[in-house]
Amino acid sequence: MNQSDFLKVVIPFKDKVFRLAKRLLVSTEEAEDATQELFFKLWKNKEKLSEYNNVEAFAMTMTKNYCYDRLKSKQASNLTLVHNNYKEKETSLDKKIEQEDSVNQVHKLIENLPEQQKIIIQLRDIEQYDFDEICKMVDMKPTAVRVALSRARKTIREALIKKHNYGVS
DSSP per position, 45-110: TGGGGGG-S-HHHHHHHHHHHHHHHHHHSTTHHHHHHHHHH------HHHHH-HHHHHHHHHHHHH
**3-20 per-position pLDDT tens digit:** 888 788 888 898 999 999
Cβ pair 119, 138 in contact under 8 A: yes
User: Of 86, 120, 149, which one is at a domain's C-terminal end?
Assistant: 86
Q: Are residues 167 and 105 in the same domain?
A: yes
Q: Clarify whether residues 72 and 138 are in a common domain.
A: no
Percent of the chain at pLDDT > 90 equals 33
Give the number of other CB atoms < 10 A from CB of residue 29. Answer: 11
CA dihedral 89, 94, 96, 101 (to 10 degrees): -80
Mark whether 112 and 67 lie in a shared domain: no
- Cα–Cα nearest to 22, from 125, 134, 111: 111
- Last residue in a domain, options 37, 56, 86: 86
**CA-to-CA distance for 123 and 126, rounded, in angstroms?**
6
Whether residue 3 is found in the same domain as residue 80: yes
* Residue that wins the pLDDT comparison between 160 and 35: 35
Position 84 scores a pLDDT of 54
The per-residue pLDDT for 26 is 83
**Alpha carbon distance 54, 56 (integer Å):** 5
User: What per-residue confidence (pLDDT) applies to 94?
Assistant: 46
pLDDT band at 105 (very low <50, low <70, confident <90, very high): confident
Q: Output the pLDDT for position 16.
A: 93
Give me the phi and psi of 154, to 5 degrees please.
Answer: -65, -45
Q: Are residues 46 and 118 in the same domain?
A: no
What are the CA-CA distances from residue 75 to residues 18, 78, 80, 159 (Å)?
20, 5, 9, 32
Claim to verify: residue 120 and residue 73 sit in the same structural domain: no
Across residues 37-52, what is the average pLDDT? 85
Instruction: For residues 159 and 131, state if they share a domain.
Output: yes
**Boundary (domain end) residue, out of 86, 113, 134:** 86
Q: With cut-offs at 50, 70 and 90, classify the pLDDT of residue 169.
A: very low
More confident position, 6 or 113: 113
Question: In total, how many domains does the chain have?
Answer: 2
Do 105 and 163 fall within a single domain?
yes
Q: What band does 163 get if pLDDT is binned at 50, 70 and 90?
A: confident
Q: Tell me what the pLDDT averaged over the chain comes to.
A: 82
CA R_g for the chain: 17
Long-range contacts of 112-117 (CB under 8 A, 24+ apart): 113/152, 113/155, 113/156, 115/24, 116/140, 116/148, 117/148, 117/149, 117/151, 117/152, 117/155
Q: Which domain holds residue 71?
A: 1-86
Q: What is the CATH number of the domain that holds 105?
A: 1.10.10.10
Q: According to the model, what pLDDT value does residue 97 have?
A: 61
CATH number at residue 70: 1.10.1740.10
Query: What pLDDT, in 10s, does the model give residues 51-103?
Result: 888 889 989 999 999 888 888 774 555 555 455 555 555 544 544 566 666 77
Whether 112 has a pLDDT exceeding 60, the answer reads yes
